[in-house]
Structure 1
């Protein structure tokens, strides 16, 4: 594990970077221009097509971090997921979607799948039998998450990738909560890996972006969708994301350590009824996470004794985490997911008592002490 960590930390700094840099600079410049002279020997640089030099530089960096042939950056995480789905599905096609996945993805399927001519079935990410029951001749893709959001579960990822290969499906996985520091889905056979780069990849809560990685042929199809919808990430956003990637390994490792410290503290507390974090031996998916992951992620969910009222009091009593609904930034965040309403597809959702905590890079002892004071210790 230590060798892999060293390799990834070095890759985060140097992967995909030109040597020597432009004009000798070790920082790739921002090419803000929208118009470039035609080069008959190559591709025309153009922002909407994601081929501006700053955009292409970021694509190489993203591909290197996920161990993929190619990558494309998008204007948001939802642009990444929807472009990946559009690249794999056409009118009359069927999708298998596993897990109580991100609400934005649920909303997209609930509001647009029928209009696009897609059908889909929802399955248990850890139960291969549930996949076999719904696969059919017109099934074309399998969608899942590395760590589900917001219930923090880990499905049978290797089984899902193998199932997709067996049935000729495009396997798509949202790796946002894990990040490539923790897990690289291409290594077990996933075709397309998606990220909300707004979260940990950028890590500073100041950019909306997404990413898709995969084979060159698959990314060309994803890019074609993005080109049609005009959903490429702008050059300055590409610069900011590329800069954020430099510290990805350092940030995520600190966040993982902080999440573990808070999870262990809460799991032992008499006023906490339940904690869901795959780093805990008590978590139902701990063995899977321990076998595949290098760390357990920065996000956990928990439920205090006393229900929704106790949850509201606890969130308001915390002093360090911001009460906000994102995750993966340098600052810790806490939110009650149920406040966002019921899941659009009717999947089991969080209760009013559930709290999601996204660990930042603060000192672990300070975060634990803050939870202690909020719980009256």
Structure 2
């Protein structure tokens, strides 16, 4: 069974939309798919796929981990797709105990399916990182905004630190080294990771080798969502550079997805957009990404630097092509009457608001950087 965890550094970047529609694309390709809502405490994935309000969910199982887990796995109206609802009604489901997490992972890994998609919560809670690390091919979804890209990078950085604490046994020299930095406050966040690893290799080679074995099986994949202009796709290169320079981590680019107002319409209709409007630019991008995943080797997925370059170049070309298709699509909607002049004006207003938010984020980032420089901050 191929496991595909889907995460984001922050909320509001369309992670659940991506997870739900990828599940539909895989199911339509003939794969037996299970979609699990692991955004515990804020579970609403059932709305995206048009599933009825769940009577049972993961929260039900967590209340009694000896119960029959199969009862929370529900059939859907979409052929080949089953669904595991989350739970927002039972307190504490967002903060799993280690025993609960272990029991849940055991049941998830025992499921009978071709593909298991895990829609994770936003942020870097330990449970989220643990679920993300169930696969070496986890997907991180970001938007082109400064905060979204920064949080995507922070998520991956925390994933690396999680691997460190997993590899470094308590009271080893490597563990004590990390703890010393952690107790210094922001030491872990500010230290240059390759330099940190060099120090650990010198003082505790055994722990370092164990960490390297674990980290070498991690090859995160990036999806840039909510793109509005081909230039937005360039932001992905910044995430890549930060990961390679500061984390010594290589990431693959699965592609871009343009923002589409039809997504709100499909959500209101309680249908995934890949079913509601399969020919839309957004849906076609989802199908394209799903094909890339299906064509990749789930057992041997290490890419060379040249192959990684190709994924980023391909995404840039797709951004240009999809933008042209999007403009043609808008023109068709205008001529057919499906998109009124008022709708177009409202879209422009929304974009102006987004631009204003971006300017504020940019000014805040400039202020933060200049203050850090004045205080002698070193990455």
| TM-score (norm: length of structure 2) | 0.31
Higher helix share: 2
